[in-house]
Amino acid sequence: MPFQKKEFPDKFAALSKEDKVGLLRTMVRIRAFESRVEELFLNRRIPGFVHLYIGEEAIASGVMANLSKNDWITSTHRGHGHAIAKGAQIHRMMAELFGKTTGYCKGKGGSMHIADFSVGMLGANGVVGGGYNIAVGAGMSSMIKKTDQVAVCFFGDGASNRGTFHEAMNIASVWKLPVIFVNENNQWASTTPTSFATSVARIADRAKGYGMEGYTVDGNNVIEVYNAAAALVEAARKGKGPALLECLTYRIKGHYVGDPEKYRTKEEVQKHFTENDPIIRYADWMKGKGLIDDAALATMKAEAEKEVADGEKFAEDSPLPEKEDAYNDLFSFSPSEFPEVVK
Amino acid sequence: MAIITYRDAIRDALKEEMARDEQVYLLGEDIAQFGGSYKTCVGLFEQFGKERVRNTPLSEMAVVGCALGSAMLGKRPVAEIMYVDFTACCMSQIVNEVAKTRYMYAGQVEIPMVIRTQGGAGRASAAQHAQSLEAWFTHVPGLYVVMPSTPYDVKGLLKTAIRDNNPILFIEHKLLYNSKGEVPEQEYTIPLGKADIKRPGKDVTILTWSRCVEFSLGAAKELEKEGIDVEVVDLRSLKPLDEETILSSVEKTGHVVVVHEAVKNSGFGAELVALINEKAFDSLDAPIQRVAGEEVPMPFNPRLEAMAIPDSKKVANAVKKVLSL
């Protein structure tokens, strides 16, 4: 996929070794979580359906490394990676997938609705394109409060064809809101190839229609993602307004776990995975720079797997909701008792 | 008590709540310098500035989504959708996002937001600007639906709605904006989910809301001349619903007429009939009658338009029918 490259300042170079390793660790933790979730789902331990982020980890990791807990993200149906990278706790995520009361949504949300407002994760969203305008609202609240918080809206290539995209991009641009629209172009909208359903070759080009800057990066190169996000987030913090960042990647797994994937060949998928795995690419680069070795990488993977296994145990041991719990949390009742009074 | 219009009561409620709580802000199309298409926000832009009275692009999805995002983070938005008909343009935001957020994230956040809009016929606004669509929203768990009929009610209920921590569809009626009524000069609020008996009576209960309260009171006045004593219950909010007041009135009169401007088919009146069947069937002395909008898109011609919605005469006829007169 050719695209015009924009050279962003190499902020990555200035990161400490620890932070560079941290980028890899985030990707490895996401991979470990998603790999186990796939197995658990296939073993019918998780109800509903799940959408995996495998192969796209560099985007969440590279973007989120530029955000603090005070910044916000909105996520998608393929949102586990975003949640982990934003700081959500794996054991509570796992408990949510199991439908347990200790999950983030007490078992009422599931995979597509994981949210952790305490770390600025404003929710995965089951409606494609559902997050744009929430991110706009978050960006607007930052502007009203005159803070330097930014909102990042993750969305897929398919979502760029939803009408909400248009309204959010326009209003964010008109109001110069601190919102970064991060497109994860994994080349598949469910079973439909992006090229079949999208009027432009590069989704970043759509930014022009909104008077917004739009760039495309290799979404499987965490360094490129990091540097692009660093520049755009910094600009947004300084009040320079929104931007669109298209991260090219590839959806390694089916749309959902269990997808028969009749629309593509196994060879195509395998080629992408072996040649373009973002974790292998970055790990190899780090090894070449002497930042990590095989033993350290193996330890990192083992730690991630243990964290996931512990999370799974926590989920297993947690209680299921009682039937009556279905009625909780619909409305807020506390301050709504306003007697009819004339003061 | 001062006598003011429904329109001014809305503006006063907005003004008082904005002054009271700086988290409250307004957003919508043409609400700033212009003061809103139905002039309910006149003067607020001048008083509170462009940050708190925000004109938006013609983007209902963005208006509602943006209100939601900011509400999650502690603001108290009052979003104006110019016509209830245009909620169709942002229905996914309302139904799939606003209504669901608190529940599906298990109460991690409150959603203190009001969507103000207006509906109804009577101004020859034709098919796309005159609907009564409240049943769309009462059907969705997670939303409150409030539909005041008088200046007193609209002010007190809007103030409460803004203070409430739940998402609320606040549906005004375009024909009521010029109606006048007494409103206290002191501050007051009205609880959500409390019906108001606009006229007590012992023979027949009329359950109604919004502009149809006017038709029902008109019918009651005429029927009084014939010795029929009608009780007019203004529900004021459909969700939460004041079942207690409804059922005790039904138990008292044994005869019920439901009156609403929305199309009869699948209208909220059907829900009320079912509720009474379930909870007060033995109190009924006759089958419940419904007076509601005709099964057509709202016609433009004022004569046809008047035909398509209830009026006092239709209500009076239904009352006589339920009394077998």
CATH number at residue B17: 3.40.50.970
Q: Which among B88, B58, B52, B83 has a CA at the least distance from the CA of B162? A: B52
Tell whether B215 is covered by a domain.
yes
Residue A3 has pLDDT above 90, yes or no: no
Residues 141-200 of B with CB under 8 A from A: 141-142, 144, 156, 160, 163-166, 184, 186-192, 194
- Residue B237 shares a structural domain with residue B207: yes
Q: What is the DSSP string of B68-103?
A: HHHHHTT-EEEEEES-GGGGGGGHHIIIIIIHHHHH
CATH number at residue A202: 3.40.50.970
Q: Which residues form the domain of A56? A: 12-342
- Residue B171 shares a structural domain with residue B54: yes
Q: Which residues form the domain of B310? A: 196-320
Residue B295 has pLDDT above 50, yes or no: yes
- Residue B148 shares a structural domain with residue B47: yes
Identify residue B221 by its one-letter amino acid code.
Answer: K
Do you know the residue count of chain A?
Answer: 343
Number of domains in chain B: 2
Q: What is the mean pLDDT of chain A?
A: 95
pLDDT of residue A237: 98
pLDDT of residue A339: 57
Express each pLDDT in B24-50 by its tens digit: 999 999 999 999 999 999 999 999 999
Question: Which stretches of B209-267 are DSSP H helices?
Answer: 212-225, 243-253
- Residue B210 shares a structural domain with residue B87: no
Residue B203 has pLDDT above 70, yes or no: yes
Tell whether A126 is covered by a domain.
yes
Q: Which residues of B touch A174 (CB under 8 A)?
A: 57
Looking at B128, B148, B183, the residue that finishes a domain is B183
Express each pLDDT in B91-133 by its tens digit: 999 999 999 999 999 999 999 999 999 999 999 999 999 999 9
CA distance B105 to chain A (A): 5
Express each pLDDT in A44-54 by its tens digit: 999 999 999 99
**A176 in contact with B, Cβ within 8 Å:** no
**Mean pLDDT confidence for B2-18:** 98
Instruction: Name the CA radius of gyration of chain A, rounded.
Output: 20
- Residue B11 shares a structural domain with residue B146: yes
Report yes or no: A62 and A226 within 8 Å, Cβ to Cβ. yes
- Residue B240 shares a structural domain with residue B275: yes
Tell whether B325 is covered by a domain.
no
Express each pLDDT in B250-275 by its tens digit: 999 999 999 999 999 999 999 999 99
Looking at B183, B213, B237, the residue that finishes a domain is B183
Residue A340 has pLDDT above 90, yes or no: no
Tell whether A103 is covered by a domain.
yes
Residue A334 has pLDDT above 60, yes or no: no
Q: Are residues B188 and A140, on separate chains, in Cβ contact within 8 Å?
A: no
**A295 in contact with B, Cβ within 8 Å:** no
CA distance A26 to chain B (A): 24
Tell whether A171 is covered by a domain.
yes
pTM (2 d.p.): 0.94
Tell whether B191 is covered by a domain.
no
Q: What angle do CA A264, A266, A271 make, to 5 degrees?
A: 105
Q: What is the DSSP string of A281-299?
A: HHHHHHHHTTS--HHHHHH
In chain A, the percentage of residues whose pLDDT exceeds 90 is 94
- Residue B156 shares a structural domain with residue B71: yes
Residue A335 has pLDDT above 50, yes or no: no
Q: Is B217 exposed, middle or buried (0-12, 13-18, 19+ CB in 10 A)?
A: buried
**Mean pLDDT confidence for A286-314:** 98
Nearest residue on chain B to A132, alpha-carbon basis: B65
Q: Which among B242, B190, B246, B199 has a CA at the least distance from the CA of B218? A: B199
Tell whether B189 is covered by a domain.
no
Tell whether A6 is covered by a domain.
no
Tell whether A215 is covered by a domain.
yes
Looking at B183, B214, B242, the residue that finishes a domain is B183
- Residue B163 shares a structural domain with residue B212: no
CA distance A185 to A158: 8
Q: At what angle do helices B212-225 and B312-322 cross, to 10 degrees?
A: 60
Tokens of B55: 């004109």
Tell whether A293 is covered by a domain.
yes
Number of domains in chain A: 1
CATH number at residue B212: 3.40.50.920
- Residue B25 shares a structural domain with residue B171: yes
Q: Are residues B191 and A337, on separate chains, in Cβ contact within 8 Å?
A: yes
- Residue B73 shares a structural domain with residue B161: yes
Establish whether B129 is a catalytic residue: yes
Tokens of A308: 């996931």
- Residue B283 shares a structural domain with residue B313: yes
pLDDT of residue B315: 98
Among candidates B68, B108, B194 on the partner chain, residue whose Cβ is nearest the Cβ of A117: B108
pLDDT of residue A342: 59
Tell whether A283 is covered by a domain.
yes
The residues pairing with A180 across neighbouring beta strands, listed in sequence order, are: A152, A243
Nearest residue on chain A to B58, alpha-carbon basis: A167
Express each pLDDT in A153-196 by its tens digit: 999 999 999 999 999 999 999 999 999 999 999 999 999 999 99
Express each pLDDT in A100-144 by its tens digit: 999 999 999 999 999 999 999 999 999 999 999 999 999 999 999
Residue A343 has pLDDT above 60, yes or no: no
CA distance A277 to B179: 68
- Residue B167 shares a structural domain with residue B267: no
| Residue reference for tokens 């309204």 | A167
Tell whether A2 is covered by a domain.
no
